[in-house]
Amino acid sequence: MPLDLPQTFRHHVFCCAQQRPPGHPRGSCGAKNAHPLWQRLDQKVQAKGLLDVGMAMTGCLGFCSAGPLMVVYPEGIWYRPETPEDIDEIVEQHLINNEPVERLVMVLSR
Ligand code: FES
């Protein structure tokens, strides 16, 4: 039976919230100050009324040394923001105006 979903997201954002203990050899996005950044992202998305932007916290996305990491779909663009201003720029430029913030993109090599 097909599901009748009420909406689809224009952008769906996945944010790594993995927290490993201090000194863990892999480190973690949580240990690199990710949580305040994701809080800011959530607040900005709410404040801008972006009802067509979905946001989800995830476990490890697999590239811990590059964190904090977030991915924006459907484009599949990986970001590594470091400051609240980086988050603001991603919201304004990408989530609202659909233009990736090139300076914050993490390029995955093949
Ligand atoms: S802990 Fe965030 S990518 Fe691994």
What token pair was written down for 33? 């100050």
Mean pLDDT along residues 104-110: 83
b/e per residue, 28-37, with b = 16+ CB within 10 A? bbbbbebbeb
In a domain, 110, yes or no: no
Domain count, the chain: 1
Does the pLDDT at position 68 exceed 70? yes
87-102 pLDDT per residue, tens: 999 999 999 999 999 9
- By most ligand atoms within 8 Å of CB, the mutation choice from 69, 78, 80, 108 for ligand 1 is 69
- By most ligand atoms within 8 Å of CB, the mutation choice from 64, 78, 79 for ligand 1 is 64
45-58 pLDDT per residue, tens: 999 999 999 999 99
Beta strands, E only, 1-110: 11-16, 53-58, 70-73, 77-79
Ligand 1 within 6 A of CB of 60: yes
In a domain, 21, yes or no: yes
Ligand 1 within 6 A of CB of 105: no
In a domain, 68, yes or no: yes
| CATH number of the domain within which 26 lies | 3.40.30.10
Ligand 1 within 6 A of CB of 62: yes
Q: Is residue 75 a contact partner of residue 37, using CB atoms and an 8 Å limit?
A: no
Range of the domain at 20: 13-104
What token pair was written down for 84? 């609240």
In a domain, 7, yes or no: no
Q: Is residue 69 a contact partner of residue 78, using CB atoms and an 8 Å limit?
A: yes
In a domain, 20, yes or no: yes
